[in-house]
Amino acid sequence: MNSRVVLFLCTGNYYRSRFAEILFNDRAKRYGVDWRATSRGLKIGWAGNVGSVSPETRAALEARRIRCATIERLPIECIENDLSRADLIVALKESEHRPLLEIRFAGWSDRVEYWDIHDVDQAPAAESLAEIHDLVESLIARLRRSSR
């Protein structure tokens, strides 16, 4: 049986969604949850991001001793096929991402679970990444319960 897929969405696929993806995959493996995560951005390249992931994301993963081969991949822009292949879609901030989904992918915005994680221009990275950590842990627990 193939693993089910959770798709994390943010704006640039550089900071929040990448952290959620890599953390989720680490925790799913650790807890034996038959899900895997991927992530995409709804508006790639808008902020002048440099490299594969934000320095804050890289540091937060290193602090948690999480290593991942996909950390070096560049951000990827979301296409409709990404949405249709996912069993669960999580957008990291509703007020930011619902409008982008409505513009780019009509009919998908109501099929998404929304979190409320601020980008670096609105909250310190340590605070936002800690919130993502807690929400990913809660999501893993919820998926573990539903698979029993």
Please indicate whether residue 93 or residue 124 has the higher confidence score (pLDDT): 93
Mean pLDDT of 6-29: 94
Asked whether the beta carbons of 16 and 64 are under 8 A apart, the reply is no
The C-alpha atoms of residue 53 and residue 132 are separated, in whole angstroms, by 16
Nearest CA to 135 among 77, 91, 84, 72? 91
Is 80 exceeded by the pLDDT of residue 42?
yes
Query: What is the DSSP-derived secondary structure letter of residue 112?
Result: -
Q: Token pair of 14, please?
A: 């550089």
Determine the pLDDT at residue 148. 65
Residue 104 has pLDDT above 80, yes or no: yes
Q: What integer pLDDT is reported at residue 46 of this predicted model?
A: 58
**pLDDT score, position 44:** 80
Q: Which domains does the chain have, with CATH numbers?
A: 4-146 (3.40.50.2300)
What's the whole-number mean pLDDT along residues 34-45?
92
